[in-house]
Every structure is written in structure tokens, then in C-alpha cells.
Structure 1
Amino acid sequence: MDGLVTTVLDQDAVAGAVVVIVSGDNVILSKGYRLADARTGRLMTPDEDKVPLASVTKVFTALAILQLAREGRLALDEPVARHLPDLKLNQRFGDIRILHLLSHTAGLEDRYRGYFAAHDKLSATTELDHISKVLPQQVRPPEDVIAYSNASFVLLGAIVRAVSGLPFETYLAEAVLTPMGIDDPHFMHAPRKAGTVSPFHVWRDGRYHAIDPEPFAAIHTPSGGLALTGRDMARAMQFLLRTGSGSAGAISSANLAADMKRTAWPGRRAFAGRSLGYWTGTWAGHRVYHHGGSHFGFQSGMTLVPALDIGIFVAANGPGGDGLMALPRRLLREIAAPHERPSAAYTTCNMTCLHAYEGRYLTTRRNDTGLDRVVVPYQTAFTVTAQENHALLVTGLGHTRRFEAIGEDYFETPEGDTRLGFRRTNHGHITGAHLDGGFHSFDRLHFWHTQASLDSALWTALAGALLCLASAYSGWRARQRISSLPLWQGLTWIGIITVVTEVLDQSTHGDDLSMAASPGAGLWTMTVLYGVGAVSLLPVTVWLSSTNGKRHTGMGERFAVFAAVPFFVWSLFAAWKWNLPTAALTW
């Protein structure tokens, strides 16, 4: 492990890491690697350095929910509204239940801008009021597809508070962590004491720079705000692997551990990768339960292999720790079970069959209703192409992999540890795909997911503006007089293009907008300019009709303005499809 860890730290330019491996009551490995703080030269230690777990926190939130369910204080099939009656969430596609939140099937989109806004800046009177203001919208029917959702676990934390009568952090510490032997957790919204949480590091100018993580909004703690030491994680993994009769309060820890591994949606292959507490799959012939996290400049991952009684936790104090996160799978393949490569029996899928799956697929973890939509072209996607050797080639996820058919709409890698499935409509059309039973889910890409459609709003507006300016120039050439409307129209749209382009550039590449409580002047300006552009088409219509057949306006002038109108209409339509004029209104 020393060689594996230090190699990937070098490759990914990560300053330091913690690796913990347990089996039964034994801690096989608990070790810190390299720098914990470049400012002082202090080295990482698993006993002292608290590392942000980010989304691994969701495992503990799920455990809290299942513990309350075991106690009979809630049921997984209950609607969220039963416990959160004051929640303001338009569930227009169907009622959301607790099970939907646990399994990321509530139909909620993702959100970034404004999501981490501070409570006082939102003028929210209660925690639920705050949550209601930052929640993303429901854009799919529940149980339609797995779409990874931080907001779902924010709601689960609110349910824990409502049912237990305690703040989420208090309940988690007293009822979940203390029975594991964890008595000093840190929550990332709390004031940071010296030495409480290690800084993260970035490699710049030939050396590591340490950066203290920003405070985390309290409402988001259930989705990713817990920080623990490697020693704490060893105890947590031993608890979660336990099959004996230990107890967590009045509840058997074996029962809770079993609940966490229970399939969320039995019999549904597209959801097979989600249990009630983890993501699950088969690596090197063994069923594994895992969860990863990335936030605060840290990356972390926990993997449990019950059949081998092994738990593995890794954490990197830098954003480039992808290689380290891959170590548990590599550990199973090369060390724990090097000879086990089970795979399903292959079936025949000829080229006609394979061509039906070709296309580009976009992650379901995205935003459709707000300004975040403008970054959709840059989000996780992959391309599927048919190969002459009766296989599919998948590219675009950081690697190229080959999948062979193992059944209708299902494919598997030669190693047997990654499966690719496809979704169809009732009419047989392929609409999406999923890897490892929903661990990653995707929709089939269409034109309004592409950069070309977003760019079309700019280029058609520019084309329309140039046509109007050409009309004005034509009038000047013919009569030494410039027609006022074409000139005004062209200059107006040139101004709109310039300002909107600048606002979008700032919104997508400028300041961190995740903590902004309001859209700001830029987005409101963009909305006003959209209105100006739409209204500007009215005088064009009047001008075209009023100049029809009149000598003082040439045919070339009228034709250029007439030809510009479809370009302007398309630009307005494309901007609307990408939520540009509504970005401020939907903040």
C-alpha cells in the first residue's frame, strides 16, 4: 500500500492522504501519508487529523433515518410532507417519499448558484424556510431514474430533526456516532478551532499551498458536512461490517448494518446499484458497498466488502485525488481477490443491434430550470459507438472501455465489474443509460443539451444585427440618408450581445456564485435586455408594413430587415430554452 499510495500522490499532485483498512476487530492499516499542513511541515496522522468526509456523510445520515425507522418513529414509504408540512416544494411530478430521498429517485435536479447562501442573507425565518429557498426543483417523476441529489439528503436531515426533536448534529453525534465509539466529531459549519480540520492543498508555482476550508452552511450538514479522523472511520467501518449482536441504543447494530445494505428497489435492474445506505456493485467477484465524496478541496471514499470482512477508507487533502479513490477497487483486484474475474454469459448483438445504442449521453445530475443550465455542455457525458467485434466502446469518462452484451439492453466489461444498461420508452426508443445499476445515470443527448444550441443564440442575434446594419448602409448608399429603424435595431442588438456575453462570462467563469443569496445586477440586466430585444421586434413589424411599396425605402433595405427577423426570433427562443432571461427570476 505504501508504494501504491505514494505513486498516486505523485501522479495527482496531492499533498497528503490517510488510508485505513479494517477487518473484524482488527485495524490492518491506519496510516497518514506526507503533508497535513504545508505551512508548518506537519505530517498527516489518522489519529489527529480530522478530514472532511464530504458526501460520505450521507452514509451516516442514512443510518440515522434507518435507526428512526427501526424505532417505529417513521416509515420509509411515508411522504416527506408528513414530517415537513411547512416545506415549500412544488412536487408537480408526484409526491416525494423518504425512500425516494434515500435512493436519489425523488426527481430533483441539481443546483449550484445560490445553493450555499447564508441563512441571514436569505432573510429566512426558519430552517425549513431556508431549505425551501435553496432547494432545486422537481423535474422528473419520482422513481423515473436515479439522479444524484445533495438536496435529498438536506431534506433527510430536516426529517431527522423533525422526528427526533433534536438538531441534526446533536442526534447524529449522540444516537449514531457515540455508539460507534466516536465521541469528538466536527461539523463543517461550526467555528474551526486550530488543528480541528486539516487544510486542503493546491499545487502552484512548484510547491503546495495550504488553504483552510470555508465554513459550510448548517442546513447542508446531512449531505456533506461531517469531519472525522481516520481512527474514527475505522470504528465506523467496524460497526457497519458487524454481523454480531452489538447494539446501538436499543437497536441491534447487526440489524442496522443489514438495513443499510438492503436493496432500495428490489427487482429493478436500473436501480440495482443503490442500497438504502450505499452505492453497491460487484468488484473482483465480491459484493461491495461504497460511497465517495468531494468537497472543501478534499476527496474521500469508504468501501465495505462484507464477504471478506474488509473495510477501506481513503482521504486526500487535495482536489486531484482520483487515483487514490480508485485504490479500493485496485486492492480487491490485485491483492485480495486477484484470481476472481466472474462475468455473465455473453449474448449475440449484431451491428444493427449495436447501432441502436450509439449516441452521446449526459449525466442526470444537472440543472434544467436555472442559470446552471449554461454549464450543461461541460458536464459529465460519454459517447457510445459500435465496434465490429460485437461490442460497444464507451469514451468520455476519463477512459475508454469496451462492453459486451450480456442480455437485452445490458452490457458488461471483460473484467466483469462494470455494467452498462440502457432505458427505453414503451415504443422502444433508447432514452438513457446507467452504469452499475444507477451509480451513474445519463439521458440521451439532444440538440438543446449541446454547446451549438447555446451558441446559436449569440450567432443568430449577431447575424440579425448585421443584416439591420446592412439595411441602414444600403439606404445611405442609395439616398445618402440612413434609415433610422434599421440602424437603431442593429446597434440595439449589438449592445444586447455585448452585455449579455459579458454577464454570462462572469456568471460561469467569474466569482463563486454558490454562496450568493440573490442574482445580482448582472442577471437582472440580462432579463431586462431580453425584454428590450423582444419588444424591439414590434416596431420592425410596423416599419416593414408602413414602408411597403413606398419609394423612399428600397427593396434591399426592406429585405435585409425582413430577413433579420427570423434570426432575432431564433435568438430569443434559444436564449429562453437556456433560461438566460429567467435566470434572475428563478434564482
Structure 2
Amino acid sequence: MRHLHAVLVGLTLVWLLSGLPCFAQGLPTPVPSGPTDPQELEAFLDQFFAQKMTEQHVPGAVFTLVKDGKIFFSKGYGYADIEQKIPVVPDKTLFRVGSISKLFTTTAVMQLAEQGKLKLDDDVNQYLKHFQIPNTYPKPVTIANLLTHTDGFDSGWGIKAFAHTKSEMTLLGDYLAKRLPRRILPPGEVFLYSDVGMTLAGYLVQAISGIPFEQYIQQNILQPLDMRRSSFFQPLPSQLAPDLAVGYRYNNGTYQRRPFAFNNNVPGSALMATATDIAHFAIAHLQDGRYGESRILNEVTAQEMHRQQFAHHPGMVGSAYGFSENWENNQKALEHGGRLNGYTTRLYLIPEQNLGFVVSCNNNPVALPRELATQFLKHYYPVKEKPASPSPSTRDEQKPDRQLYGTYRYTSYSHLTLEKLGAVLGDAPEVKVMAGAGNDGTLALYVPEFKWVQVEPLLFRSIYSDTQLSFRQNERGRITHMFIGDSVFAALEKLAWYETNAFQLTLGLFCALSFVSACLVAWVSWLMHRSRKRLPQDSRINLLQKDKAPHPTPPLNKGREVNSTFARGRMARRAQFLAVLVCSLNLVFAIGMGLAIFGSDYWQLFFGLPKIAIALLFIPPITTGLTLALVIFTVLAWKNKYYSLIGRLHYSLTTVAAVGFIFFLNYWNLLGFRMY
């Protein structure tokens, strides 16, 4: 008791002294973190949106922040409909939130797991009745793999994901059965973001619950969370449809309205909601499944959903179920983004601060949501920047294995469909890995000065931060992947020399120039032949006499040789015609497909390829067959000496280009109809 009394007296003295100014002057004043004044937050946001909406041509936006279980601040900016001058209102204007839909799908799966209707480690195939996932690899795809984007399915799924009308939509089960992409990686090894896994997860919700997916979400998530202005149904219910913000595309100085897209990928990206409704969902997850008196998940299940379930290497940020992790300014966040044609959204939660926010726009600014999160954290959770770690200068430092050097590409692109062309446009950029500047034993990315220090085999740390960089090798010891630790999305595959964009573009340019050259040579030859025919008769007689003068009259036994020469000339003309035909068709395909694909609005391709592009896809199989004949003619040209030496070399070069173009087409999945 005496010791307890002493402790109580001591605590009382500390409390009293801490309240006296004269004693508090020497103590550090705690710096408040996070927003505390709605007016100050509004001033910060007003400045941000005024600048960024102008720079990135955003017609309308909305921001809602929740804190300690309540909506702390909410405001709309700009217009939901420019032409009608309808402003964005946070609790009225609906946005298409795209892949934020996946969080609702994941929550639904966790509900079923909580009820014992499924197990996350179950093989997905045991719940599929009308189709099955092929057993490409020994390990099966589990439900947990679907929720962490580690199922190993190829990413290509965009073409014909949209329909123009409700009647053109495909039922969820049929859509999956027809469009299920191939598996390209064993499950549980690499984060490969795509819509496939979450759509499969949504189909399981529908199959196990026995009711349509949209209806399940409405009854079990939206209604308990009082999300009255949200829906997965397409089209929207009549009472909500007038308040959907118009999606825009900014092009050539004007805002162009995008058509409403009926999305076949319902569980992955079909949700439409107001910012305040999404705020209710955010509050429920920040409070481990509880919103007011309602609960959509029990506490243990919610915590399991938020816990890291996958990372490429221990200590790196990874993915939870549905959410991806983010670590910035000493704040660990759970987040998810969403993009659809004309809409962009981001949901950002900081569980330890019991705070989160959602931002939506009615166009597709690439940087705005990410810049907002970064500036928000710098403003409200500032940290002193750590000085860069000194670059190692000891000569004893072990140098990285040279097989780490090379070109790597982000894995989130279609490997097996013609959507692979998106990689050229920047959806899957390449990263060069090389030795660090100064030959000091470091590794470098992009440029020799961007250095990483090796801390153990296949593991490196940035000299500018604590970010890790790891490599993975296969059973034969070859490097297959690189992972950058500040984002689970930063999974890159190592490319062979012939897979790099530099080589592929060089090959494509070589083929194109060769085809043009062959056509020009044939055109010049044809013009020369025509010009000879148009010479005056006297001139032609003189040319004939000149040709006959030096040559004695051939004997009768040389008739066969004359016939043979005539036959060779005819075959030579056929060979040249075939070369021109192949080159012309290849040029028509390359130019036409380039205009059809790269000249189109990106999101329009989700409705399907343009008809001209589909027609052009008939050309590569034809030219491939003709190229085989071209190879035969090349052999005959050398054997029978159809042309001069320079002519034969040029013909051979054309044949090499035609064969190389087959390789080029096959690499980019343009040889045939590989749309899905």
C-alpha cells in the first residue's frame, strides 16, 4: 500500500506541474496531426482543386473525409454536367467508381466466409458448376488468390467488356465461361492486377447465395450502410439516374461526353455511388465492420480482411483482401483506385488515425487522386526527410550479379491478346537495370545515379530511403522478376533481348522500310517498262537493231535455251509480283491497324474493336502463307539467277523482312483473331 500511495502522489505531482506554464515552457509542444478544423481543410482543398482541375482539365470533382466514425468534411467542385451547368453535390451526385466495386465484392466474400458458406483456402473449381478453371499448374486457384490478385490469370480483358445496351450484356456466368483468360503464372507467387479474379469472386457470391450479385450487394451491404444513393444495377434505378455525373473526355480543347457503358464485369467495376455513400462504407471498414448500429462484418473478419495477406518479400508493402497497402509519411494506408470511361475515384483509409477520404472526378486524370493523397499526407502528417544514405565506397563491397542487369516490364498487361499493344502506350512501362555510377558495387534503375545497395543476395535497399528491391529466380537460377517494395503493383518481369520495346520497334521499322523499298523498286521497274513501250517506232527499231548487231543468229539447237530464258523471265516477274503483294498487304495492315487502334479513343475499344480493325485481322494469316511462297521464290532466284546480284540481295532482304514481320505480329498477338 505504501508503494501504491507513492505512485499516486507522483502521478498527481506530474499532472499538476504539467498544467503550470512556468514548468511547461521547457517541454516540447506536441504537434497536432491530421485535420482538426473543417475550414482550414476546406482552404487546403480549394487551393488544390483550383490548380489541379485546371491543369488536368477536370470538369467536376468531389471530396469527402471521414474521421472518428463521422463525415468530417464534404464538398463538390465544378460541374456534374457542363452543358446544363449542374454542380457536383456530394450527397446527390453519383459517380461511376470503377474498381472501388472490387472492395464491395471482397466484403461480400468475407461475409460468406464468416457464415461458413465458403473457406478462403478452397479451390475455386469446387464452386463452379458450368465451367472450370483449367489445371494449368499443380496448385489450384483459391478464393484467397482471387481476393489478392495472385490467381495468375492473364490481364487482358478489356475488349467487349462494355455493351451499348442492356440487351447486349452477357450474363455473368456466361461471360466468365466464354472469356476466362489463360493462366500465365502459378497462383500465389506474383501480384498481377486484373478484373478476372474479382469477377470470379463476385460470381461465387451469386452462386453460393442463390441470388443475383447486384441484389446480394444491395441487401447485405448497401442497405445496412444506409447507402441509399448507390447501386450496381445497370441502368440505374429511375430515382437515381438523373443524378449520375456525365463522364467526359477532354480532347482538342473541348469536353466530349462519353456514352453510358453497360459493364459486363459487374463485380469488378459496375458500382455507381455518391461520395457520402462511399464514406459510409469507409467508416464501416475503419470501425472493423460497424456503421452506427449496423454491422456488415464482425470485428475479427474485418481485421483479417485488412491484414496483409500477400507481399513479394518480407518487409515490403503488399495486399490485404481487396485493399492494397500504401506506406507514406510514416502512415500505413489501405487504398484502392477506380477508373472507368470518363470517371476516376480513389478511396484512401488510414486505420491508425481512424481517418479516410474518397475523391471522384468525372473524367480520367491520371495524377490527381495520387497527388491529392501525397499533398494531404505532407500537409497533415509531416515528417522530417531522412538524409540520403551514403553511397558505399568500399572496394570490398560485393558487386551485384550481372544477370540482374537488363530490361524489365511491369506485368499488368495482356500477354496473350492484342491488348498487349497497350504496353507500347505506357500501361506497362519498361525499367532498365544496370550498374550504379562509379562502379561502386551498387545497382541502378533507369539511370546510373539512381542507386540501390545490396543487403543480401537478390535484395537491395535504396540509398535515398528504406525502400527495398528484390529479385526472383526460377529453379534453373535465371532471374524472372523484380519487385520494387513501395508498391505491390510494382511487379516486373525480366525480358529477353527480343522482347524489349526497343528491339520490337526497331524490327517493325526495318520491316516497314523494307516493304516500302520493295514497292518502290517494283514501281520504278514498271515505269521503266512502260516508258520503253511508249518510245517512237523508229527508236524501238534502232534499239532492236542495236541489240541484234553484236549477237550472231542463234543456231537451231539453242531454241530450248531461249524458251528457258523466257520461262525464267516469267517466273522472275511472278516472284516480283508476289513480293510486292506481300509487302503491300503488310503495309496496309500496319498502317490501317495503327490508325484503327491508336487513333481511337482508348475506352471505345472496350465496346469492341472497330470493324475496320476486325477486317484487317484477316490479312496476317494470308500474308503468312504468301511469305512461305516468297521464301521458295528467293531460293529459286539465287538458283536460276532471276536478277542481278544486287537485285537478288534486295529480294532476299524483302523476304527476311516478311519473315521478321511474322515474328513481330505473333509477338504482339496480331497474327489471327486474339481479341480475348
TM band (smaller chain): 0.7 to 0.9
Query: What are the superposed Cα offsets for residues 251-276 of structure 1, whole Å, 9 maximum, x if unpaired?
Result: 65423321221222379539851111
Cα distance between partner residues in 2 of 1:244 and 1:151: 26
Cα distance between partner residues in 2 of 1:268 and 1:152: 22
Cα distance between partner residues in 1 of 2:618 and 2:234: 34
The answer to whether the aligner puts 1:69 opposite 2:113 as a matched pair is yes
Q: Percent identical across equivalent pairs?
A: 22
Query: What is residue 37 of structure 1 aligned with on the other side?
Result: 81
Letter in structure 2 aligned against 1:67: Q
Letter in structure 2 aligned against 1:198: A
Cα distance between partner residues in 1 of 2:259 and 2:389: 45
Cα root mean square deviation, aligned: 4.0
Query: What is residue 514 of structure 2 aligned with on the other side?
Result: 463
The answer to whether the aligner puts 1:445 opposite 2:489 as a matched pair is no
Aligned runs of 1:228-267 on 2, under 5 Å? 228-243=273-288, 252-265=297-310
CA positional deviation for 1:241: 0.7
Contact 1:274 1:437 in 2 (8 A): no
The answer to whether the aligner puts 1:374 opposite 2:465 as a matched pair is no
Counterpart of 1:372 in 2: which secondary structure?
helix
Deviates more, 1:328-337 or 1:62-71: 328-337
Query: What is residue 269 of structure 1 aligned with on the other side?
Result: 314
Query: What are the superposed Cα offsets for residues 330-349 of structure 1, whole Å, 9 maximum, x if unpaired?
Result: 32233135358699999899
Cα distance between partner residues in 1 of 2:177 and 2:300: 34
Counterpart of 2:74 in 1: which secondary structure?
strand
Aligned runs of 1:110-125 on 2, under 5 Å? 110-112=155-157, 114-118=159-163
Contact 2:508 2:661 in 1 (8 A): yes
Query: What is residue 573 of structure 2 aligned with on the other side?
Result: 484
CA positional deviation for 1:354: 8.4
Query: What are the superposed Cα offsets for residues 487-511 of structure 1, whole Å, 9 maximum, x if unpaired?
Result: 2122212322222113321442244
Counterpart of 1:378 in 2: which secondary structure?
coil
Query: What are the superposed Cα offsets for residues 505-554 of structure 1, whole Å, 9 maximum, x if unpaired?
Result: 1442244663456885644554454334434533752684598468x876
Aligned residues: 580
Cα distance between partner residues in 1 of 2:250 and 2:667: 39
Cα distance between partner residues in 2 of 1:345 and 1:466: 55
Higher-RCO chain (CA-CA 8 Å, sequence separation at least 6): 1
Query: What is residue 538 of structure 1 aligned with on the other side?
Result: 629
Query: What is residue 223 of structure 1 aligned with on the other side?
Result: 268
Counterpart of 2:605 in 1: which secondary structure?
coil
Deviates more, 1:325-334 or 1:419-428: 419-428
Letter in structure 2 aligned against 1:361: Y
Cα distance between partner residues in 1 of 2:80 and 2:209: 37
Contact 1:24 1:309 in 2 (8 A): yes
Letter in structure 1 aligned against 2:179: V
CA positional deviation for 1:174: 0.9
CA positional deviation for 1:301: 0.9
CA positional deviation for 1:231: 1.3
Contact 2:400 2:454 in 1 (8 A): no
Contact 1:270 1:437 in 2 (8 A): no
Contact 2:169 2:262 in 1 (8 A): no
Cα distance between partner residues in 1 of 2:275 and 2:92: 8
Query: What is residue 556 of structure 2 aligned with on the other side?
Result: none
Query: What are the superposed Cα offsets for residues 275-309 of structure 1, whole Å, 9 maximum, x if unpaired?
Result: 11210132222321111111132211111111111
Q: Judging changes above 3 Å, is the alpha-carbon distance between structure 1 residues 391 and 206 closer, same or farther for their aligned structure 2 residues?
A: same
Cα distance between partner residues in 2 of 1:53 and 1:344: 41
Query: What is residue 574 of structure 1 aligned with on the other side?
Result: 664
Query: What is residue 514 of structure 1 aligned with on the other side?
Result: 605
Letter in structure 2 aligned against 1:93: Y
Query: What are the superposed Cα offsets for residues 4-25 of structure 1, whole Å, 9 maximum, x if unpaired?
Result: 3333223322222211111222
- For structure 2, the residue ranges without an aligned partner over 5 or more in a row are 1-43, 533-546, 548-564
Cα distance between partner residues in 1 of 2:134 and 2:606: 23
CA positional deviation for 1:395: 4.8
The answer to whether the aligner puts 1:195 opposite 2:242 as a matched pair is yes
- Which of residues 308, 318, 321 in structure 1 aligns to 2:353? 308
- For structure 1, the residue ranges without an aligned partner over 5 or more in a row are none
Q: Judging changes above 3 Å, is the alpha-carbon distance between structure 1 residues 392 and 162 closer, same or farther for their aligned structure 2 residues?
A: same
Cα distance between partner residues in 2 of 1:66 and 1:503: 48
Query: What is residue 399 of structure 2 aligned with on the other side?
Result: 352
Contact 1:107 1:141 in 2 (8 A): yes
Contact 1:188 1:215 in 2 (8 A): no
Query: What is residue 423 of structure 1 aligned with on the other side?
Result: 472
- TM-score, normalization by structure 1: 0.85
Query: What are the superposed Cα offsets for residues 86-139 of structure 1, whole Å, 9 maximum, x if unpaired?
Result: 125544235322111111111112225534154999999853222222333222
Q: Judging changes above 3 Å, is the alpha-carbon distance between structure 1 residues 240 and 348 closer, same or farther for their aligned structure 2 residues?
A: farther
Q: Judging changes above 3 Å, is the alpha-carbon distance between structure 1 residues 406 and 202 closer, same or farther for their aligned structure 2 residues?
A: farther
Query: What are the superposed Cα offsets for residues 327-371 of structure 1, whole Å, 9 maximum, x if unpaired?
Result: 223322331353586999998995832866544321111112121
Cα distance between partner residues in 1 of 2:284 and 2:443: 41
Cα distance between partner residues in 1 of 2:253 and 2:618: 44
Contact 1:17 1:32 in 2 (8 A): yes
Q: Judging changes above 3 Å, is the alpha-carbon distance between structure 1 residues 29 and 469 closer, same or farther for their aligned structure 2 residues?
A: closer
- Structure ID, larger Rg: 2
CA positional deviation for 1:149: 0.9
Query: What are the superposed Cα offsets for residues 381-410 of structure 1, whole Å, 9 maximum, x if unpaired?
Result: 2344524487665459xxx97655565544
